[in-house]
Amino acid sequence: MSRDRITTDPARIADILRRGGVAAIPTETVYGLAGSIESREAIARIFEIKERPLFDPLIVHVTGAEQARALVMEWPETAERLAQTFWPGPLTLVLPKRTVLDPLITANLETVGVRAPDHPLTLKAIELVGAPVAAPSANRFGRTSPTTAEHVLSEFPEHDFPILDGGACAVGLESTVVAIDSERALRILRPGAVTAEALRRALGDDVGFSTAPSRESPGHSPKHYQPAIPLVLVASVRTIDDDLAREAAAELSLARADFVELELNPDPRLAARSLYADLRRLAGSGAALILVRMPADASDPGWEAIRDRLTRAASLVL
Ligand code: TXA
Ligand code: MG
């Protein structure tokens, strides 16, 4: 595994992206695997490296609203307000796209997801490329997203694309994805750090929200974010002990039932920040199973995204 793939120089990364290469980039949510939207070769390579199905569209990363406007048919007042309030930050806006945008990026959909990531090195790199970059999370399809440069390296040891090291991701979970269907109707396609409550505060009470059926967020499938060993989500009041682990192992047809427990930080922001790093560490612990209790606290909307990811990462719910 070659450590000289890791750099802290956004100019080196921009150079590669400008020439149609791919590179991993840090964001405040998770690391992305980026290619310039102007290089079809880079975009195709991203799907190949991730082993990602072509029906799953990529998010386009921009420096701000000005670049975003050039990608969409219309930039409604609602988009402007949300960009002003939350960008750069963990919010992806889905809007009808302009036809010039490569259909490979958007998986032939009529819409495009755009966001300005809150990371100085990546904003600098995009600025130097002079064009937005498309970037899914830098993990193999269906697996846990990386939140450090080391995670990306260990996810893709056999590849040689460079990795821009921006430290550990501050948010730790993928962005909130929201479709703007009209000025007053939004659909949350994937929950994240920007909650429905926060969106409502920014837009006012007369905005309608719905949660999308999963087919409308093509890549956000029920089985996603999975660690390398089975995760068992304990959604009941049962005690986490050997008996429970044996029952889980039997259900999953595992020969062994030795387990490690993932204990979530009681503060959802801190729990989110370390969730994926913890899952990777525990998946490498040698145990047969990871057991985690579903967060029960419904009062803090910060738990919603964590519940969503745990549910999708789980091989079994008990
Ligand atoms: O925080 C993030 O969003 C990270 C960082 C790298 O920015 N990116 C990320 O990308 O999580 P990815 O590809 O792993 O997840 C993108 C999600 C997928 O569920 C995809 O289906 C959805 O966004 N998406 C992208 N464009 C869309 C569109 N036009 N319509 C509906 N869903 C879209
Ligand atoms: Mg992903």
- pLDDT tens figures, 77-89: 999 999 999 999 9
Amino acid at 74: E
pLDDT at 90: 98
Each as own residue / partner, the long-range contacts of residues 247-253 (CB below 8 Å, 24 or more positions apart, any chain) are 247/318, 248/289, 248/291, 248/316, 248/318, 249/288, 249/289, 251/316, 251/318, 252/289, 252/315, 252/316
Contact 31, 84 (CB under 8 A): no
Best substitution site from 37, 55, 177 to test ligand 1's pocket, by max atoms within 8 Å of Cβ? 177
Contact 162, 22 (CB under 8 A): no
Q: What backbone phi and psi angles, to 5 degrees, belong to 310?
A: -65, -40
Global pTM exceeds 0.85: yes
- pLDDT tens figures, 243-300: 999 999 999 999 999 999 999 999 999 999 999 999 999 999 999 999 999 998 778 9
Partners of residue 178 on adjacent β-strands: 93, 188
Q: What backbone phi and psi angles, to 5 degrees, belong to 55?
A: -85, 0
Contact 280, 310 (CB under 8 A): no
pLDDT at 222: 77
Stretches in the chain below the pLDDT threshold 70: 1, 212-216, 219
pLDDT at 210: 83
Pocket of ligand 1 (CB under 6 A): 27, 29-30, 32, 56-59, 90, 92, 94, 106, 109, 111-113, 117, 135-137, 174-175, 177, 189-190, 217-220
User: Atom 31 (ligand 1): residue with closest C-alpha?
Assistant: 217
Helix (H, G, I), strand (E, B) or coil at 216: helix
Residue 9 CA to residue 31 CA, distance in Å, equals 16
User: Atom 26 (ligand 1): residue with closest C-alpha?
Assistant: 113
Best substitution site from 59, 123, 180 to test ligand 1's pocket, by max atoms within 8 Å of Cβ? 59
The CA 205 to ligand 2 mean position distance, Å, reads: 31
pLDDT at 106: 98
pLDDT at 215: 55
Q: Rounded mean pLDDT of the chain?
A: 95
